[in-house]
Structure 1
Amino acid sequence: MKGLRHAATIGAIALAGAAVLGAAIGGALVLRIAREVVTPSPRKHDTDVIAVDTGAQTIELARTPDTELPGRYGLFVDGTPGYVKLGAVLQADATSVRRKLLTQIDPGAQVGRRAGFSGYYYLAPGELHLPYESELIGTPAGPCPAWLFPAESTTWVIQVHGRGATRSECLRAVPVLHAAGLPVLITSYRNDGEGPRTRPGSYGLGSTEWRDVDAAIGYALRHGAERILLMGWSMGGAVVLQTLMSSAHVDAIAGLILDSPVVDWRSVLRFQAKEMKLPDPLPQLAMEALGQPWAARLSGADQAIPFDDLDMVSRAAELDVPILLLHSDDDGFVPSDASHALAKARPDLVTMPIFTGARHTKLWNYDQNRWTDAITDWLGAQGFAD
């Protein structure tokens, strides 16, 4: 009996130890997932370069849901060119896509295998052949570089890029806005790789970055703006929505344009966790960790992430300006469900034309005419265009 009791005691200690170890491993995994959410990451290599024909000026890429899209795009490549522009799909099979090169690659250029497919298209402001100025905007986090495309109107557009992106993401929208007579200010923000870095260097998912956009609004108002339109891409949508909710200059904000926006982070993170096949309840536990100050700090966040505040579907009643919402129903990264829910909750404010087939933040690339017309028509209907 004594031996049995001893064995049972040893067994209980072993089981308790295993439980503690399992909990520790599980807790570490939750914090790792949480850290991934708020940590800026380097540009993804999401396709492979299979072949380059410098005579025909074509490039063959591994086929993905993005690389097979019709339209004009960009491609970040390892090697000499660095970045090239892509035109029409010329041929596709089950594993590869051959596209026209719109940026010449010279014979002998070294092009690496790994590449990142991009909707940017324009990489630098000079490519638009419009007058622009480089500015620095003082923010609570430090100076944020910005591009200003001047025009005569006192209604300014301030554009905000998304997660893992840079100001270049916003350049596609400048021509249609400039054609409407509107000055366009494209600003960076904290921890985006161009703006100032805070001590942890992490994203606030809109809960901190809005302060830098608020500073950009102040800059615009000091330089002749009387009304402000905010345009946000992807996470930039969450940023401008939080700016509308919290800005000291809220009376100057006259409307929003949202492209593939994050309207509710919980739905986005659940979707992405499902795509990555993360088992329940890890995604929920990661969000709960980010919502607690001590766990958020362990995850590398500046502060706890207020997911309730970032849920603009539940806060739809607080909105009071017209919104143009552009979102493809096959987005593949930020599901359009929350955007549709917001449009349904506030049909008096939200205009949401239906887009399909364009994937994430590539509506301009996929159907430039329809995307441009949607913005032009909305600006005219709201009385914003000159």
Structure 2
Amino acid sequence: MALLAGALAFVLTLGGAGAMLYALQDRLIYFPDVTPPPPPALLGLNEIRETRLRTADGLSLLAWSLPAATDRAPVILYLHGNGGHVAYRAERARYFARQGWGALFVEWRGYGGNPGSPSEDGLTEDARAGLASLRAAGIAPSRIVLWGESLGTGIAIRLAAEQPDAVAAVVLESPYTSLLDLAHRHYPLLPATLLLRDRYDSLSRIPAVRAPILILHGARDGLVPVEMAHRLKAAATAPVELHELPNAGHDDIATWGGLDAAAAFVGERLR
């Protein structure tokens, strides 16, 4: 009886934890800085202009736009990760500017003073609005590079799979196979399959991507294991380069030369 009572208590405790996880899962996935970012000029980003994106579901979203140095230079559609807001990527904007690239930094709904709440479908709409904005500006698909950072890699893969002829290349920085796989890894006792709403199932979508892909991943990534990058590479049908950085973790790809590897890839693919 004592053993049965103990097992029942464990199940009830696990069930309570599962219910809490289901109710609060958005807080475990999305970590927005909800305050509006400072004007780019205050950060020394004099080339950057603030612009607005209109989503299909009626939101008006802040975005940062960096003009390309020439009308043939690559243009990056940048989809950032789950933390902070667009101003946290100021160094990335400076790097792109030094390359002479254009860029559109999509700011997610619920981030950086934007209306709405983040979700997988919502962020996908935001990315679609960014791609539509580049099209409306006359940017040819042969110049557009989809660049996903961490959580944003799931959106980049989904968008490239949905619109396979809309971009010339895809860069995936610290990608994962799916959030469900990550949940099983980090919360092994919880029934994540039943609880998780936003799945970001990149592994099932990447075979539909036609554009060449570069994967940047740190071998010391403690959040997303590098074996997930290898699984994505194996599942892809498009040409894939995997650049594994032996000293990098999850958030310091740039520190260990990842951006230079991406610049070489973009230069080769969009030459």
State the secondary structure of the residue aligned to 1:262: coil
Q: Scaled by the length of structure 1, what TM-score is found?
A: 0.59
Residues 32-89 of structure 1: per-residue CA shift (max 9 Å, x gap): 123443223477xxxxxxxxxxxxxxxxxxxxxxxxxxxxxxxxxxxxxxxxxxxxxx
C-alpha distance in 2 between matches for 1:211 and 1:253: 17
Q: Which residue of 2 aligns with 1:217?
A: 131
Match for residue 61 of structure 2 among 135, 139, 144: 144
Q: Is the CA contact 1:161–1:167 (under 8 Å) kept in the aligned structure 2?
A: yes
Query: In the alignment, what sits opposite 2:249?
Result: 359
Counting aligned pairs with the same residue, the percent is: 22
Question: What residue is the counterpart of 2:151 in the other structure?
Answer: 235
Instruction: Determine if contact 1:134/1:146 at 8 Å carries over to the other structure.
Output: yes
Deviation at 1:380, TM superposition (A): 1.6
Match of 1:183 in 2: 102
CA shift for structure 1 position 193: 4.5
Residue 340 and residue 162 in structure 1: after superposition, are their counterparts in 2 closer, same or farther (change >3 A)? same
Displacement, 1:346?
A: 3.3
From the superposition, tell whether residues 42 and 186 of structure 1 become closer, same or farther in structure 2 (CA, over 3 Å). Answer: closer
CA contact (8 A) 1:207 1:242 kept: no
Cα drift, residue 236 of structure 1: 0.9
Aligned equivalents of 1:354, 1:131: Cα separation in 2: 32
Match of 2:235 among 340, 345, 350: 345
- Measure how far apart 1:178 and its partner are: 2.9
Which of 289, 311, 319 is the aligned partner of 2:195?
289
In structure 2, C-alpha distance between the alignment counterparts of 1:166 and 1:331, rounded to whole Å: 22
How far 1:335 moved relative to its partner? 1.8
Other structure's SS at 2:54 match:
strand
Q: CA deviation at 1:168?
A: 2.5
- The 8 Å contact of residues 180 and 192 in structure 2, kept in 1 or not, is answered as no
List alignment gaps of at least 5 residues for structure 2.
none
Are 2:171 and 1:257 aligned?
Answer: yes
In structure 2, the residue matched to 1:125 is 40
Paired residues of 1:141 and 1:212 also in contact (CA < 8 A) = no
Task: Assess if the C-alpha contact under 8 Å between 1:188 and 1:194 holds in 2.
Answer: no
Of 14, 25, 28, which aligns to 1:26? Answer: 14
- Which residue of structure 2 aligns with residue 372 of structure 1? 259
Residue 194 of structure 1 is matched in structure 2 by: 113
Q: CA deviation at 1:313?
A: 2.5
Listed as ranges, the gaps of 5+ residues in structure 1 are 1-10, 44-122, 274-279, 291-303
Indicate the residue corresponding to 2:83 in structure 1.
164
Counterpart residue identity of residue 243, structure 1: L
Q: CA deviation at 1:215?
A: 0.6
Q: CA 1:373–1:130 in structure 2 vs 1: closer, same or farther (change >3 Å)?
A: same
For residue 53 of structure 1, what is the aligned residue in structure 2?
Answer: none
In the alignment of these two chains, the number of paired residues is: 257
Root-mean-square deviation (Å) = 2.9
Tell me if the contact between 1:263 and 1:339 (Cα under 8 Å) persists in the aligned partners.
Answer: yes
The aligned counterpart of 2:214 is 324
**Residue deviations 1:282-308, cap 9 Å, x none?**
1xx133122xxxxxxxxxxxxx43x3x
Q: Is the 8 A contact 2:157 2:206 kept in 1?
A: no
Question: TM-score of the superposition, structure 2-length normalised?
Answer: 0.82
In the aligned structure 1, how far is the partner of 2:31 from the partner of 2:258?
29
In terms of fraction of residues, the more helix-rich structure is 2
**SS of the residue aligned with 1:313?**
helix
Structure number with the higher strand fraction is 1
